[in-house]
Chain A
Amino acid sequence: MTTHSTATIWLLIGVTAAGTWLIRISFIALLGRVSVFPDLAMRVLRMIPAAVLAALIGPSLTQAEGAFDLGTERFLAGLLAGLVAWRTRNVLATIGVGMGGLWLLQAVG
């Protein structure tokens, strides 16, 4: 649970919503004023989802209980889910196997 106040969270939601919409409309609105999308910017943008998602996943699996530990139930279940995601590219199967794996490991451990 957060200690951020309700007002702060509203501000976070509002700024993120406005910023996201501005990013979305950016080039649609600018057409005619900006003719080409810079090549380097395109290459940077293409890397963002993979880099950010992996960075979000890293600590939640390897430091699931605080300290770095590759023996936790969450790391093993996450590894299993990663295998399923890689082989099937299926969101439902990935969540199902990951949660099922975690519950199984928790029941055994």
Chain B
Amino acid sequence: MSPRPPARPSIAGIVDIAPILIGVVPFGIIAGIAAVEAGLGTFQAYAVSPLVFAGAAQLAMTDLISRDAAAIVVVATALVINSRFAMYSASLAPTFGRVGAMRKAVAAYLLTDQAFAVSVVRFDRVDEPISARYAYYLGAGMALWVTWLVSSAVGVVVGAGVPAEWSLDFAIPLVFIALLFAAVNDRGTGIAAVAGFVAAVAFAGLPLNLGLLVASGVGIAAGVVGQRR
């Protein structure tokens, strides 16, 4: 068996992220439908995906908007969910801190759970120059970007035609359930999840949907403390 010539890094990025994209498609469709059902205008429902480009935050946002949560709570919740990107940003900084400003801006825009996950594995296993690493990341990031925009646009198109009896709004907590079990991977995150769940139920009566943010804080604190034991 002769060794195959190594694929271009950008192609390798697309190939590596491809299996993950299958799970992104239903998530994107649901995000599109949810945006329309929440009462966003059609153009807004399309625009939110390329502008925010973060699935869980988009779903939480539209969910809160549909329940008329206070504006500050909508934004704060979305940003708290997206604060995990700071962790990825720190992890990628040694690599992307050395590329040009424009490339940094693009890399930041394309930073997602999925692109980060495949890239850290690649950077750890393959010793290649920063330009190759950037190309790999761009391949993975762009593949996810196209998938997210197309699938959420499909959701916006079908969204208006979905009958209420289908209870498709229930797909939002279902997506969160699927994401939750992927996020719980040790004692601390398990404690954070249980504490966050219980606190959210207890504080659900707080005005302006503030219970969500309070409960998130309780869960985070419980997880940090529980992790140390």
Interface residues of A (CB under 8 A from B): 1-4, 6, 8-17, 19-21, 23-32, 37, 40-63, 68, 74, 77-78, 81-82, 85-86, 89-92, 94-95, 98-99, 102-103, 106
Number of residue pairs across A and B with beta carbons under 8 Å?
286
Within 8 Å by CB of B47, from A13, A57, A61, A81, lies A13
User: In the complex the two chains form, what is the Cα distance from A27 to B109 in whole Å?
Assistant: 13
Residues of B within 8 A of A45 (CB): 83-84, 86-87
Chain A contact residues: over half helix, strand or loop, or mixed?
Answer: helix
B62: nearest chain-A partner, CB-CB? A2
Task: Please tell me if the beta carbons of A51 and B193 are within 8 angstroms of each other in the complex.
Answer: yes
How many chain B residues touch A (CB < 8 A): the figure is 99
Task: Please tell me if the beta carbons of B83 and A11 are within 8 angstroms of each other in the complex.
Answer: no
| B128 → chain A closest CB, angstroms | 19
Task: Please tell me if the beta carbons of A47 and B189 are within 8 angstroms of each other in the complex.
Answer: yes
Task: Please tell me if the beta carbons of A17 and B105 are within 8 angstroms of each other in the complex.
Answer: no
Task: Please tell me if the beta carbons of A91 and B23 are within 8 angstroms of each other in the complex.
Answer: yes
Within 8 Å by CB of B104, from A25, A90, A95, lies A25
Task: Please tell me if the beta carbons of A61 and B173 are within 8 angstroms of each other in the complex.
Answer: yes
A51-B223, A98-B170 known, 18 other contacts, Cβ within 8 Å: A2-B40, A2-B66, A6-B44, A20-B53, A21-B108, A27-B89, A41-B86, A46-B189, A50-B180, A51-B192, A53-B56, A53-B193, A58-B199, A59-B200, A62-B201, A94-B177, A99-B171, A102-B167
